[in-house]
Chain A
Amino acid sequence: AQSVTQLDSQVPVFEEAPVELRCNYSSSVSVYLFWYVQYPNQGLQLLLKYLSGSTLVKSINGFEAEFNKSQTSFHLRKPSVHISDTAEYFCAVSDVINQGGKLIFGQGTELSVKP
């Protein structure tokens, strides 16, 4: 069965510092991978996705993630964070053989950016 592990439940960081949010998955088949961001009392917004092609994917607001098949990882990085990046981040996986578009989510990582 598929599963997703986000290794850090909370990540505090100072503004303008780099950050990495870790995500590992387990699956016996090829996968699609996603990062979503959630601001307080709101739904989830898609941050970036890996479906195929280049293993390095980037968002418009400076985040990037790299699909590493051998390490079954999809870590999220940003070289310099802003106060506005404070939110909860969820990693999610779906197998390529589409089971109705079902997603399996990690437990979430709370990113707290301090001035």
Chain B
Amino acid sequence: DGGITQSPKYLFRKEGQNVTLSCEQNLNHDAMYWYRQDPGQGLRLIYYSQIVNDFQKGDIAEGYSVSREKKESFPLTVTSAQKNPTAFYLCASSILRGGRMQPQHFGDGTRLSIL
């Protein structure tokens, strides 16, 4: 079945540690996105990528980094500079077709907590 796979489902970070969240899609979608979800705040965009080897900052990029070396993969690294990383992280993807918006498809998320 086609879809988006996020791993791991749960992740714990120690002080001063960088951690990487995986996101893989087999939908052949052009664009991929990372969101952070906190209770009562909805989803906030961290980074997005429309094409391989290119990505843009979203609204809350500080303390995070990404790469897009393959169309299928868009890993997110939460660096030690992110002082409040505890949240639910969601990856999404969508087709970009001639500038017309297509709905985003979401993975099942990774819950990151501080040890």
Query: Chain A residues in contact with chain B, CB under 8 A?
Result: 4, 6, 9, 32, 34, 36, 41-46, 49, 51, 90, 94, 96-98, 100-103, 105-108
Asked whether any CB of chain A lies closer than 8 Å to the CB of B102, the reply is: yes
Query: Closest residue of chain A to B32, judged by CB?
Result: A101
Task: Please classify the interface of chain A as helix (H, G, I), strand (E, B), loop, or mixed, using the class held by over half of its residues.
Answer: loop
Whether the pair A9, B94 counts as a contact (CB closer than 8 A) is: no
Question: Are the CB atoms of A90 and B106 closer together than 8 Å?
Answer: no
One of A45, A46, A97, A106 near B42 (C-beta < 8 A): A106
Other-chain residue from B42, B99, B105 in contact with A107 (beta carbon distance below 8 A): B42
Q: Which 4 residue pairs across A and B have the least CB separation, nearest first? A: A43-B106, A105-B42, A105-B43, A107-B42
Give Cα distance in the complex from A56 to B53, angstroms.
Answer: 39
- How close is A69's CB to chain B, nearest CB, in angstroms? 17
Q: Is the CB of B48 within 8 A of A44?
A: no
Q: Could you give 11 example pairs across A and B, Cβ below 8 Å?
A: A4-B42, A43-B6, A43-B92, A43-B108, A44-B92, A49-B103, A101-B48, A101-B102, A102-B58, A103-B33, A108-B42
Residues of B in contact with A, size category: 20 to 34
Q: Complex Cα distance A105/B101, Å?
A: 15
Which residues 58-111 of B have a CB within 8 angstroms of A?
58, 90, 92, 94, 96, 99-109, 111
Looking at the complex, which one of A46, A90, A100, A108 makes contact with B103 (CB distance below 8 Å)? A46
Report chain A residues within 8 Å CB of B111. 41
- Asked whether any CB of chain A lies closer than 8 Å to the CB of B31, the reply is yes
Q: Which residues of A contact B42 (CB under 8 A)?
A: 4, 6, 90, 105-108
CA distance A94 to B92 in the complex (A): 15
Q: Is B50 an interface residue (CB 8 A)?
A: yes
Out of B6, B31, B96, B106, name the residue touching A44 (CB < 8 Å): B106
